[in-house]
Amino acid sequence: MAFAFDYAPAPESRSVVDIAPSYGLFIDGEFTEAADGKVFKTLSPSTEEVLSEVAQAGAEDVDRAVRAARKAFGKWSALPGTERAKYLFRIARIIQERSRELAVLETLDNGKPIRETRDADLPLVAAHFFYYAGWADKLGHAGYGPDPRPLGVAGQIIPWNFPLLMLAWKIAPALATGNTVVLKPAETTPLSALFFADICRQAGLPKGVVNILTGYGDAGSALVAHPDVNKVAFTGSTAVGKDIARRIAGTDKRATLELGGKGANIVFDDAPVDQAVEGIVTGIFFNQGQVCCAGSRLLVQESVHDEVLDALKRRLTTLRLGDPLDKNTDIGAINSAQQLARITALAETGEAEGAERWTAPCELPSSGYWFAPTLFTGVSQAHTIARDEIFGPVLSVLTFRTPDEAVAKANNSQYGLSAGIWTEKGSRILAVAGKLRAGVVWANTFNKFDPTSPFGGYKESGHGREGGRHGLEAYLDV
């Protein structure tokens, strides 16, 4: 489909962010090299350009960081809540001040469009710190007893799809409740956590309260296993989540696990088609589909299947894929070569198993990791692409005839994180929402997040909730 006219490039300036050629680990308030001197490089997924070199934490560094966090725990947890709150408010404010810089940095390191880092990630990051800052001096009113106590040292492991937002989800409630943290960002997106370390210094946060260890899975594994870690918070794959659950069995360690999903986005025949199509696009193409709660299974009522699919394809041809720093870009780069290979392989499996593939017509840049928005029709519940989490811009379309069939198909998954419902009929929304086995249900909207709102899954999508009053429980001895 040809456009009447092209958009002029509208790139956001890179000059607002100053990336150093190398970074150390952030332990006890200082940047330091890894004990064995190992480093690794972090790339910009849209250009494959090396952004920086960061220290690679090993078991010895994990031990050092946990000891620093333990040492800091006594004083931090003994601070009056109002004082802890003020530190968190400071952090929230500094994030707002440096929001432009962090948005550009995140886009460079992750590959997601600046439109999303600027308008979704960063405002939510600041909002999370504001929200939990307010809880720090009100914990006695949270419903967990008059004087709930922190757990101690929290070991936190976050993924690469929302590096700074996941950091905020983990660190804000932990600090508000008086815990100290050792956080390991993903190996492909370490930079924003290191910039956050600098924010902690600007905020005057006591040394050792927040420690950041950049590194690979082995560092995360050592963190989970460390005997002096009281709480494990993990967001990532279900396979790793199960492994963590096994390894902390028989210990006193608490865990919250935010794992995979295969969200069903259910479109009934009375749904307003244009709005539903926008919701489908948001559901699966937001952040290149690299979202655990993505609406990756579209369930369309049979009678409107063709109409919805036509409108959806028409809409997808207008999505702009390319330079993530361009303010007009809708679809950025896939985060890593490894992830691109996984998405590619699963899409090929979809074709091999007989589903019909349709790909939005767009030119892929010659360097970087790219995958055009893709949908599969004629998908059955047995297809791999209807069961496995793809974590990419790939939508599987299934059909249904009755609300009961929609519910049965939506619930036919090992996962239970999210779901969407599109219908004009309020009673149908309530009936279907009530029957869906999912932690978050979006009715006539999708992929909305808010710090006041608990988020988390049923079944193999994990344990516990993050966000809201519920998110405090994970960090309190209750």
Partner 1 sequence: MSDSRLTVFKTYKLYVGGKFPRSESGRVYKVSDPEGKWLANVPQSSRKDARDAVVAARKAFGGWSGATAYNRGQILYRVAEMLEGRREQFAREVADAEGLAESEAEAVVDAAVDRWVWYAGWTDKIGQVVGGANPVAGPFFNLSTPEPTGVVAVLAPQESSLLGLVSVIAPVIATGNTAVVVASAARPLPALSLGEVLATSDLPGGVVNILSGRTAELAAPLASHQDVNAIDLTGAAGDAASAKELEAAAADNLKRVRRPRPANGGGDGEDWTADPGTHRLTAFLETKTVWHPTGALGAAGSSY
Which residues lie near partner 1 (CB under 8 A)? 127, 143, 238, 241-243, 245-246, 249-250, 257, 259, 414, 429, 433, 436, 438-445, 448, 450, 452-456, 458-460, 462-463, 465, 468, 470, 478
Look up tokens 């370390």; give the residue. 197
Task: Tell me which of 12, 258, 389, 473 is the catalytic residue.
Answer: 258
Task: Give CA–CA dist 341/457, Å, rounded.
Answer: 27
CA diameter of the chain: 64
Look up tokens 């935010």; give the residue. 258
Q: Smaller CB distance to partner 1: residue 117 or 423? A: 423
CA proximity to 327, closest of 165, 117, 19, 160 = 117
The answer for residues whose C-beta is within 8 angstroms of residue 60's C-beta and 6 or more apart is 35, 36
Q: How far is the CB of 407 from partner 1 (least distance, A)?
A: 11
Query: For the chain, what is the total number of helices (H) and then of strands (E)?
Result: 16, 20
Q: How far is the CB of 318 from partner 1 (least distance, A)?
A: 23
Task: Give CA–CA dist 109/52, Å, rounded.
Answer: 10
Q: Smaller CB distance to partner 1: residue 134 or 206? A: 134
Helix (H) or strand (E) holding 127: helix 122-135
297 C-beta neighbours (distance < 10 Å), count = 28
The two beta strands, 25-27 and 30-32, are antiparallel
Q: How far is the CB of 361 from partner 1 (least distance, A)?
A: 32
Q: How far is the CB of 448 from partner 1 (least distance, A)?
A: 5
Task: Give CA–CA dist 290/370, Å, rounded.
Answer: 13
Q: Is 30 a catalytic residue?
A: no
Q: Is 292 a catalytic residue?
A: yes
Q: How far is the CB of 445 from partner 1 (least distance, A)?
A: 5
Q: Smaller CB distance to partner 1: residue 192 or 256? A: 256
CA proximity to 438, closest of 454, 461, 422 = 461
Q: Smaller CB distance to partner 1: residue 68 or 255? A: 255
The two beta strands, 415-416 and 458-459, are antiparallel
Q: Are 172 and 181 in contact (CB under 8 A)?
A: no
Task: Tell me which of 292, 460, 466, 473 is the catalytic residue.
Answer: 292
Q: How far is the CB of 225 from partner 1 (least distance, A)?
A: 14
Q: Smaller CB distance to partner 1: residue 31 or 449? A: 449
Q: Smaller CB distance to partner 1: residue 24 or 462? A: 462
Which residues carry out catalysis? 258, 292
